[in-house]
Amino acid sequence: MPLELRIPAVGESITQVQIAEWLKAEGDAVQKDEPVAVIDSEKTTFELPAPESGTLVKILRQAGETVDIGAAIAHIEARAAASLPNPTRSAEVRNAPTKASTTRPSKTATERAPDKSARAKDGNAKSTSESAVTRGDSKRTPEIMPVRTSEPESEQDARPDRPEAAGDHPEAPQAATDLEEEIVPMSMLRRTVARRLVEAKQHMAMLTTFNEVEMSAVQALRQEHQEALQQRYGIKLGLMSFFVKAAIDGLKRFPQLNAEWRDDDILYRNYFDIGIAIASERGLVVPVLRRAERLSFAEVEQMIANFATRARKEELKPQDLAGGTFTITNGGVFGSLLSTPIINPPQAGILGLHTIQERPVARAGQVVVRPMMYVALTYDHRLVDGREAVLFLRRVKEAIESPARMLMEV
C-alpha cells in the first residue's frame, strides 16, 4: 500500500501552506529524507522530505495549490513494493503543464529553470537565478509580451525604405507599444507581511522620532579588535551587535518599548528577544535573537550571520521567527538615508538604522567632518509617550558614541 506524503505541522498558528514547487515528478525514484517538494508557509519556506525510499507514484496536489496542515499531497510506493521507474512516463509528467504553470506565459529557452531533480540531488544549494525563475515571487524575470497595434496593409507598405511618391501625404507613424507584464501568485509570506503591516497601521498609534549618531567610536573599536575577533571566533565584528547591545541598554531603562498591548492590560517583559530584519528573495523575514542580553558581541554577530545564510538558502524554521519583543532593521545596507520603519505587531517599537555618511558637524565650536548615521524609532503611542521614546533614542545615541557607558551602566 502506498505511503501518504503529508504536510507536517509547521507552527502553532499556521493552518495552511502552499506547494511552491515539486522537485520530483511522478515515476521518479526517491530516497528517504530526500527533498520531494518545496512548501511555502506564512513564515518560512521548507523542503518536504520523502518518509521512505521508493517511487513517487502519484501527485495529489499541484504546485501553487493551498493545502491544509496534515493533508496528503502525494503517494510514495515503498522500495520493496515499488516497480522500476518508467523513464518515458517521468519525462511526460515532467514536461506536462501543472495547474500553476497554466496561468503563466511559457518561458523562453534561456529563461527555463534548471532540472528540478538535479537541483534536489544537489542538496540545499539554490542559485539566485533559479529561485528567481521558479518561485512565485515579485522578483521573477518579467515575461515580455510585445503588442502590435496596427498591421501593414501590404508587404510593400511594411518596407521601411519605401520612398514617398510625389504628392503623397506622409503616413502617420505606426504606434507600437511594448508591454511588459506578468501576473504572479503572491507567496504566503508576502501575503502575511502585507496583512500584518496594514493591521499595524490600522490598530496602532504609530509615531516616529529621529536622531543622528556619530559612528567614530564604533569604527575605531571595530578596527582595533577586528583581527583578534576574527581569529578567535571566525566572524567579523559588524555594526549590528553594537546596536543590539545599545537597544537592550535603552529597553532596560524604558521598559514600555519592550512591552505589549494586551486587551486592557500592558504586558511587560523582563527579557529581551531582539528581532533582526533580514531581506531575502521571498521578502522580509525577522529571525529572533533569544535572550539577547545574555549574548556576547561575538555570539550576536555569529547568530546574525547564521540567520542571513539560512535566509538566503530558505532554511529558516517557523520557531526562528516566532515571538520577539523589539525589532532592529538596517536599511543602511541598501543605502537608505532616512526612513520611518513600521512596527512588527504586537511589539511596541522598532529601531531603524541607516547608511553612514561623512557630514560636517559642530564640535567644540568648530566645524569638523564625522561619520554620521540617522536613526529612527517608531513606537506605539498607546504604550509609549513621546518623552520615553525620545529619551530611549538618545540613550542609544549615547551608548554608540561612548560604548563604555554600557559597561559602566551610566
DSSP string, 97-152: --TTGGGSPPPPTTTPPPPHHHHHHTTT---HHHHHHHS-STTSPPPEEEEES---
- Burial group, residue 52, by CB count within 10 angstroms (0-12, 13-18, 19+): middle
The architecture in CATH of the region 3-134 reads: Beta Barrel (2.40)
Q: Is residue 385 flagged as an active site residue?
A: yes
Q: Which one from 33, 115, 157, 385 is the annotated catalytic residue?
A: 385
Reading the block at residue 21, the C-alpha cell is 514547487
Q: What tens digit of pLDDT does each residue of 245-303 get? A: 999 999 999 999 999 998 889 999 999 999 999 988 777 889 999 999 999 999 999 99
pLDDT tens figures, 149-208: 333 344 444 444 444 444 444 555 555 567 788 887 777 777 877 888 888 888 899 999
21 beta partners: 38
Instruction: Please say if 320 is a catalytic residue.
Output: no
% of the chain surpassing 70 pLDDT: 75
Candidates 314, 294, 292; CA nearest to 304 is 292
- Please identify every stretch of the chain with a pLDDT value under 70, giving residue numbers as ranges: 11-13, 80-177, 408, 410
Look up the CATH superfamily of 206-408: Chloramphenicol acetyltransferase-like domain (3.30.559.10)
Q: Please give the grid coordinates belonging to residue 383.
A: 504604550
Query: Could you tell me the residue ranges of all domains in the chain?
Result: 3-134, 206-408
DSSP, res 77:
E
